[in-house]
């Protein structure tokens, strides 16, 4: 599931269009001296305004219909049922027929030829509409139709899959919990393998989708689907890859220490005498090795028992209270009525999407989240993450922001907001203020920072390395079908220093076990960028607004922090993302703040790793 939009759509719409300030046009207009018979030159701003108003109204209507159908398809998955998938495919086809229509494409191009006569806001909207058109050009309507169908089917397979461990059906929540807790390495391997069993079932569908996705965007001149997604940032594929590789390199020295540390600590934990050069994937407390924070328990700061006691619903309410304390409004009642926040009851006759997402159903006030919240640290953070999307939606759904620009400054910002709140909600002064931990208890700051690094720093080689490199190869380099798994594990070794517990041939498809590979394609670098942005924002908030140590903040109740975040959210995509960052933090996009945050940990890790063999 596209983390916060719909899989087949990428942008938002325009409602009752905000009055646009007209800039003087260079087109000469009729003057009193002009001969009366000569037709007046067209007023391009007026033409664009008329077009955008109509376009946006229809776009928003179709978007809402598509969202409703997708919501149903992601929350009620019944094996063999075709009613939902049929309805979803039809709604998405209607959307595609409109956004990709030849008439709309022609008109958009025509208007954009007069860019210099239009307002900046109009140009942005027209460009967004043309970007959306490239995802569904009706010049190749049959290909688009097949892609829509293939996407719907892939979603059903992905979330309808019945995971089995020791002969019993289990949920992904169960598998995650087992991977966090199980101490027996042989059992761990079984659990890990159980979590990868879905891969082969998705292979044919994914290969088909690759071709259909590439063909779709090629019709409007994009070389491949990866380039198409990168262009949403105003960047080429090569520029995006250069950026993510740079981020990865900047975090590499820290990762190298964490990797060495983890190999030795886990070998000790699992009673393995010979420390392996590379980490067996089944040793790590996460299905893809993207978050190792469960490896460390900080005495006095372990949230799991208290969260288990408070329960899932409390977590959602608490996250809302946190946003409200900053000055954000209460969530609309419909959020609670219409969302799907918790795991399905045992024995339910249907399944639901098991990955968290947030939905802007109508690009207005109908906001919902799809989660399977349980009382634990991982869901506590994820709840804050999803509400970040929800408050972003609500904040830019205002009359100043045209419907087509109701998106994040870029996709990475959208991911950053809630993750930032998730980080803030786990720092000790915040937790103490909330009464979740004893403020008087002595807690180890180094262990706290280590636990955070095992979450945020460990994520970078996965997101900017393995995922981005694999999808780049897959879409742009047309990675051959008999090298998909080999490439995945070569990247995991190179970037994460992780190897599979046993050889994983091409009969498996381990990348496809990551939901994004199927339904949020060629965009995973969003998350790497979001962590970089998150630390930039956090650094600014801590030092400049709260005047607190970034390692020990308490945002709770700070209207100034709320103002700062809402100011970034309010314009949506109507402001350039680079300008926003520079204006708000005084910096360009950079891993500086993230590296600086973890700097105090380096000395400790080097000390711990003294005499140990480094393999990366
Ligand atoms: O997919 C997500 C969000 C989607 S709204 C829950 N995340 C990435 C992942 O789970 O792989 C958040 C951080 C990384
Ligand atoms: Zn997200």
The interaxial angle of helices 592-608 and 445-460, nearest 10 deg, is 120
Q: Which residue has the higher pLDDT, 15 or 439?
A: 439
Point out which residues pair with 358 in neighbouring strands: 369
Q: How far apart are CA 299 and CA 5, in angstroms?
A: 39
The pLDDT of residue 305 is above 90: yes
Is there an atom of ligand 1 within 6 Å of 357 CB? Answer: yes
Confidence of residue 80 (pLDDT cuts 50, 70, 90): confident
The binding site for Zn(2+) consists of: 385, 389, 415
Is there an atom of ligand 1 within 6 Å of 385 CB? Answer: yes
The pLDDT of residue 473 is above 90: yes
Is there an atom of ligand 1 within 6 Å of 382 CB? Answer: yes
Q: Please give the span between the terminal C-alpha atoms of the chain, in angstroms, as a whole number.
A: 34
Question: In this structure, what token pair is assigned to residue 266?
Answer: 């886990």
Is there an atom of ligand 1 within 6 Å of 147 CB? Answer: no
Residue to mutate, 290, 382, 391, 460, ligand 1, most ligand atoms under 8 Å from C-beta: 382
Which residue's CA is minimally distant from atom 4 of ligand 1?
3
Is there an atom of ligand 1 within 6 Å of 411 CB? Answer: no
The pLDDT of residue 164 is above 80: yes
pLDDT for 79 equals: 83
- Ligand 1: distance of its center to the CA of 119 in Å? 36
Residue among 171, 583, 565, 540 nearest 387 (CA): 565
pLDDT for 42 equals: 85
Any idea which residue has 């891969």 for tokens? 199
The tens digit of pLDDT for each residue in 257-288 reads 999 999 999 999 999 999 999 999 999 999 99
Contact by Cβ (8 Å): 460, 255: yes
The model's pTM is 0.94
Any idea which residue has 């001969």 for tokens? 35
Question: In this structure, what token pair is assigned to residue 487?
Answer: 């490439």
The pLDDT of residue 25 is above 80: no
pLDDT for 35 equals: 55
Residue to mutate, 371, 377, 516, 531, ligand 1, most ligand atoms under 8 Å from C-beta: 516
The DSSP bridge pattern shows strands 279-280 and 498-499 to be: parallel
Contact by Cβ (8 Å): 74, 35: no
Residue among 333, 408, 338, 390 nearest 576 (CA): 408
Confidence of residue 4 (pLDDT cuts 50, 70, 90): very low
Confidence of residue 36 (pLDDT cuts 50, 70, 90): low
Atom of ligand 1 nearest to the CA of 356: 6
Is there an atom of ligand 1 within 6 Å of 122 CB? Answer: no
Is there an atom of ligand 1 within 6 Å of 356 CB? Answer: yes
Among the bound ligands, name the one nearest to the CA of residue 528: 1
The pLDDT of residue 312 is above 80: yes
The tens digit of pLDDT for each residue in 348-359 reads 999 999 999 999
Q: How far apart are CA 370 and CA 161, in angstroms?
A: 18
Report phi then psi at 499, rounded to 5. -125, 155
Is there an atom of ligand 1 within 6 Å of 508 CB? Answer: no
pLDDT for 7 equals: 37
- Ligand 1: distance of its center to the CA of 355 in Å? 8
User: Residues of the chain with pLDDT > 90: what percent?
Assistant: 92
User: Residues of the chain with pLDDT > 70: what percent?
Assistant: 94
The pLDDT of residue 2 is above 70: no
The pLDDT of residue 60 is above 90: yes
For the chain, give the mean pLDDT: 94
Q: How far apart are CA 76 and CA 160, in angstroms?
A: 10
- Ligand 1: distance of its center to the CA of 290 in Å? 10
Q: What is the DSSP letter of 280?
A: E
Active site residue ranges: 386, 516
Residue to mutate, 1, 2, 3, ligand 1, most ligand atoms under 8 Å from C-beta: 3
Atom of ligand 1 nearest to the CA of 290: 11
Alpha helices by DSSP H, listed for 463-576, are 468-476, 484-491, 515-519, 525-540, 559-569
Is there an atom of ligand 1 within 6 Å of 428 CB? Answer: no
The tens digit of pLDDT for each residue in 136-157 reads 999 999 999 999 999 999 999 9
- Ligand 1: distance of its center to the CA of 371 in Å? 11
Per-domain boundaries in the chain: 44-161, 239-608
Around ion ligand 2, which residues have CB less than 5 A away? Answer: 3, 415
Residue to mutate, 159, 341, 385, 463, ligand 1, most ligand atoms under 8 Å from C-beta: 385
Tell me what the mean pLDDT of segment 317-325 comes to: 98
- Ligand 1: distance of its center to the CA of 611 in Å? 36
The tens digit of pLDDT for each residue in 375-413 reads 999 999 999 999 999 999 999 999 999 999 999 999 999
pLDDT for 545 equals: 98
pLDDT for 37 equals: 65
Confidence of residue 610 (pLDDT cuts 50, 70, 90): very high
Among the bound ligands, name the one nearest to the CA of residue 519: 1
pLDDT for 81 equals: 85
Q: What is the DSSP letter of 542?
A: I
- Consecutive H or E run containing 498: strand 498-499
The binding site consists of: 233, 385, 389, 415
Question: In this structure, what token pair is assigned to residue 406?
Answer: 């109701």
The tens digit of pLDDT for each residue in 222-253 reads 999 999 999 999 999 999 999 999 999 999 99
Which residue's CA is minimally distant from atom 6 of ligand 1?
356
- Ligand 2: distance of its center to the CA of 385 in Å? 6
Q: Give every CB contact of residue 583 below 8 A, 6+ residues apart in sequence.
A: none
The topology (CATH level 3) of 239-608 is: 1.10.1370
pLDDT for 316 equals: 98
Any idea which residue has 């720093």 for tokens? 457
Q: What is the CB neighbour count within 10 angstroms for residue 302?
A: 15
Is there an atom of ligand 1 within 6 Å of 527 CB? Answer: yes
- Ligand 1: distance of its center to the CA of 516 in Å? 9
- Consecutive H or E run containing 358: strand 357-360
Tell me what the mean pLDDT of segment 102-122 comes to: 98
The pLDDT of residue 9 is above 70: no
Q: What is the CB neighbour count within 10 angstroms for residue 262?
A: 21
Beta strands in 167-252 (DSSP E): 168-170
* Rg of the chain taking only CA atoms, in angstroms: 25
Q: Give every CB contact of residue 597 below 8 A, 6+ residues apart in sequence.
A: 535, 538, 539, 550, 551
């Amino acid at each position: 599931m596209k983390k916060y939009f719909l899989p087949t759509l990428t942008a938002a719409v325009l409602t009752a269009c905000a009055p646009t300030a007209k800039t003087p046009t260079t087109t000469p207009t009729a003057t009193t001296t002009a001969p009366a018979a000569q037709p007046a030159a067209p007023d391009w701003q007026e033409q664009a305004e008329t077009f955008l108003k109509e376009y946006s109204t229809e776009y928003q209507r179709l978007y809402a219909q598509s969202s409703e159908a997708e919501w149903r398809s992601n929350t009620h998955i019944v094996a063999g049922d075709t009613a939902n998938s049929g309805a979803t495919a039809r709604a998405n086809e209607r959307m595609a027929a409109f956004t990709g229509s030849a008439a709309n494409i022609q008109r958009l191009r025509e208007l954009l030829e007069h860019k210099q006569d239009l307002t900046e806001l109009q140009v942005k909207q027209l460009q967004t509409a043309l970007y959306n058109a490239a995802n569904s050009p009706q010049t190749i309507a049959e290909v688009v139709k097949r892609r829509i169908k293939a996407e719907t089917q892939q979603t059903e397979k992905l979330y309808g899959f019945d995971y089995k461990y020791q002969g019993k059906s289990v949920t992904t929540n169960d598998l995650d919990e087992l991977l966090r807790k199980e101490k027996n390495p042989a059992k761990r391997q079984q659990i890990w393998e159980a979590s990868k069993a879905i891969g082969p079932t998705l292979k044919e569908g994914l290969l088909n989708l690759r071709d259909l996705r590439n063909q779709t965007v090629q019709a409007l001149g994009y070389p491949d689907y990866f380039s198409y997604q990168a262009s949403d940032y105003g960047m080429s594929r090569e520029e995006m890859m250069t950026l993510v590789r740079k981020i990865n390199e900047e975090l590499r020295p820290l990762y190298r220490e964490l990797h060495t540390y983890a190999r030795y600590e886990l070998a000790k934990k699992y009673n393995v005498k010979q420390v392996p050069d590379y980490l067996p994937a089944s040793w790590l407390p996460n299905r893809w090795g993207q978050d190792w924070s469960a490896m460390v328990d900080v005495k006095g700061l372990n949230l799991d028992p208290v969260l288990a006691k408070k329960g899932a619903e409390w977590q959602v309410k608490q996250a809302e209270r946190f946003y409200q304390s900053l000055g954000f409004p209460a969530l609309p009642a419909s959020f609670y009525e219409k969302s799907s926040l918790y795991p399905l009851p045992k024995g339910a006759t249907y399944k639901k999407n098991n990955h968290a997402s947030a939905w802007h159903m109508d690009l207005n006030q109908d906001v919902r989240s799809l989660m399977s919240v349980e009382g634990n640290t991982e869901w506590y953070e994820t709840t804050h993450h999803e509400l970040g999307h929800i408050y972003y939606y609500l904040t830019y759904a205002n009359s100043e922001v045209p419907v087509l620009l109701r998106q994040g400054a870029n996709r990475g910002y959208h991911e950053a907001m809630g993750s930032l709140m998730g980080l803030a909600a786990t720092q000790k002064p915040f937790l103490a203020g909330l009464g979740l931990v004893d403020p008087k208890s002595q807690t180890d700051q180094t262990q706290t920072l280590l636990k955070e690094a095992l979450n945020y720093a460990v994520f970078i080689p996965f997101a900017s390395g393995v995922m981005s490199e694999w999808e780049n190869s897959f879409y742009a380099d047309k990675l051959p079908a008999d090298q998909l798994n080999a490439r995945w594990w070569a990247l995991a070794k190179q970037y994460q220093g992780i190897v599979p517990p046993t050889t994983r041939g091409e009969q498996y498809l381990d990348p496809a076990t990551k939901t994004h590979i199927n339904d949020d394609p060629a965009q995973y670098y969003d998350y790497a960028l979001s962590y970089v942005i998150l630390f930039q924002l956090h650094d600014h908030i801590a030092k400049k607004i709260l005047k607190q140590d970034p390692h020990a903040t308490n945002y709770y109740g700070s209207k100034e922090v709320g103002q700062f975040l809402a100011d970034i959210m309010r314009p949506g995509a109507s402001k350039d993302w680079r300008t926003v960052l520079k204006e708000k933090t005084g910096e360009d996009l950079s891993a500086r703040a993230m590296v600086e945050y973890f700097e105090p940990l380096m000395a400790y890790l080097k000390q711990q790793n003294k005499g140990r063999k480094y393999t990366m």
